[in-house]
Amino acid sequence: MSGVPDHAAGVPAPADWPARVAAPGSARMRRDAVAFLLDHCPPEFMAHPQLRRRPLLLARLAADHVDNQLRATRRALAQTQADPEQNAGPGILDDAVTVLRREETRLIEASHSVALVGQALRAGAR
């Protein structure tokens, strides 16, 4: 949240900080960060309690997962645009490109947010 204090700690969050995560340094930040990071990992990661206990590891795995999704989305977009005949039919190519571009934008934002949370966790671990 943009410079809005975390009510529990009165700590201002960075302008582009994820709204779902309490501000860095607040009492809730670590718990919120773990939940946020798990939401950016494969759902199977929820079954591994050791990831909840090791948020720095979780941050790295979440960053890797989001970055791999972004690469796959960009590859799919390039392939879709390179071979329009594969997507024969009225509007199919346009729909595919629209969906993939929206997903690319979402993943770029997710990558940035995951990186911010990871940086804050690393700073808090020092």
Per-residue pLDDT reduced to its tens digit, 39-61: 999 999 999 999 999 999 999 99
pLDDT at 5 over 70: no
Q: Cα 79–83–85 angle (5° rounding)?
A: 140
DSSP code per residue over 100-111: HHHHHHHHHHHH
Crossing angle for the helix pair 29-38 and 55-82, to the nearest 10 degrees: 30
Q: What is the pTM of this model?
A: 0.85
Section 60-70 average pLDDT: 99
What does the pLDDT read at residue 1? 39
87, exposed or middle or buried, with CB in 10 Å at 0-12, 13-18, 19+? middle
Place of tokens 């946020």: 36
Stated length of the chain: 126
